[in-house]
Structure 1
Amino acid sequence: MTGLLAVALQGSPLDPVFAPLYWLLGIWSELLFWLAGTTGLELLQYRFMHRAIIVGLCIGVMAPLIGTFLVHRQLALIGDALAHTAFAGVAVGLFINAVLELNVSPYLTAVVVAMIAALLIELISEATDAYNDVSMAIVLSTGFALGSTLISINAGGLAVGVNQFLFGNLSTVSAENAAILLVLFGIIVGTVALTRNQLLYVTFDETAAAVSGLSVSWYNRIMVMLTALVVVGAMQIMGVILVAAMLVVPVAGAAQVSRSFSESLLVSVVLAELAVLLGIGVAYYGEATAGGVIVLVAVAIYVVTVALGKVLGSLGEDTPLEVGSITAEEAEVHSD
């Protein structure tokens, strides 16, 4: 554990700030080393897998936590838009490091660029009265164009290793990136815990929420910024191309067997965790790309939930929750 801390505290200006998180990661590694000795599982014998697993577990909570609100607001595609702009943020970080010879984490620049893009999506919709899908398409195209342009410039070998950001990679989750993910996890879970009722009310009926005194535009911006944070965090092992799937597929599966928004939220987290853990295991032993395997497992779980939902329906059980529907009782909230 001490060795991990010593290594982690070298090389980045932000590493001293992350020192407590590196310590926690060290404890996590010691726990998984013990589990590896007890179970004999090979994938638990490596520190990079320890970091990949904890990142995956966090993604399994963050993605459906935010995705449930997005899916019921019919904003499922915003994940794709922000993923492409996050890729532009990665390219900006690599470009800055190459040109200015700095040592800035590309994931930090991805956070900044993705959050700016999230705000632009909302501002374009508000300023032009365009539908959300129009503003998302504009931001997606701009973000990916910026990223591909910076990569093509190839300043100082900028294009080297870009595949890890496009497709994700278990072995490239560094201690610093894992620490960044833990910070994002705390921000996302804490914000949703504090604003859940307000976000739910806005999701259910924006007009009624505005009449009750809630700032709809403010909570819309909170939601898109949280989405940006999820996308950047999940990009580490999911990659830009597949990251949006974790915002949607587990939520869609949960809707097949859930009968309330709260139940759907809980079930989607369980399904996402199952997909992540099985996907990481299969990817490791099958020497495949983790992001692709995780999504395939998630889709397989979705198919199972669809079949289970049909069986429950034929047995006379309550009708599963429809995607995009929320009961008014669940959305009750006071503006104070």
Structure 2
Amino acid sequence: MADERKRVFSGIQPSGNLHLGNYLGALKNWVAIQEDYENYFCIVDLHALTVPQDPKVLREKIREVAAIYLAVGLDPEHCTIFRQSRVSEHTELAWLLNCIARFGELSRMTQFKDKSRKEGAESASVGLFDYPVLQAADILLYNAHLVPVGEDQRQHLELTRTLARRFNHLYGETFVVPEIMILETGARVMALDEPEEKMSKSSPRPASYVAILDEPDVIRRKIRRAVTDSGTEIVAAPEKPAITNLLQIYAAMTERKIPDIEAEYAGRGYGDFKKDLAEIVVEGLAPVRERALELLENPAELDELLESGAGRAREAARPNLHTAWARMGLD
């Protein structure tokens, strides 16, 4: 009997260091939903190539992401875990979608504009410009109904929905138009040293993020040194972005409500709060870190799991790609 559950697709790039924002905004959510949906969780290694990568480091990071996926509790019995580059249907569908995507749509993508402004548009790769189309192909290839992503990816998801509707209008009903799935708490964790910026895997400032594989004392030091706002009140407010970010991390790690945490720390200082938060983060990440490091001791096993997942992903992807071919006259 065919699986009649709704499909979920999401992925993380194997560049930089997976951090607390990835854990709270994506990975915890994936684990929570894995038994309720038909899940495809990808390591999007092709997306990582949009900026230069050291090949040796990239290979290591691909395994590291796989190990963290498993360490947080993703179960290959309940989800398909695989590398994007091992399923060539992703790039084949991306070309078909390139032919209906519009230059103006891609040029308006905020992430491209931000990155090309920093590095210079002339030196930005075509891949960086075009990767929202590959992202759309990743999702539409599996006819995913739901896509759990961070708020910063909303614009790309809207493009995916636009391309699905456009393809369906031009060639007949082919793709599911996916819905975005965003958690209310912990979905957008900000940098510890710049609370106006999102916590980033590729940040050149290690103090800006807590990596999932950071040692406990490193985590304590980073949270102790996290910037705070003027005043001493521990309350979430628009004019207090730094403490608001730390409160959101506290709430997401403990599954408590922010007003309850504010009440607990009424009349207490930032020092007490940050000391307690550091221990909460250390304790929450410790089992993930320990399990991931164990898994990384056997890279062949991780590679085998990823290859097995790629085989399952190809089985799901191939019929959808062939349908798109046929609708466009390529059968």
TM superposition score category, shorter chain reference = under 0.3
Normalised to the residue count of structure 1, the TM-score between the two structures is 0.26
Normalised to the residue count of structure 2, the TM-score between the two structures is 0.26
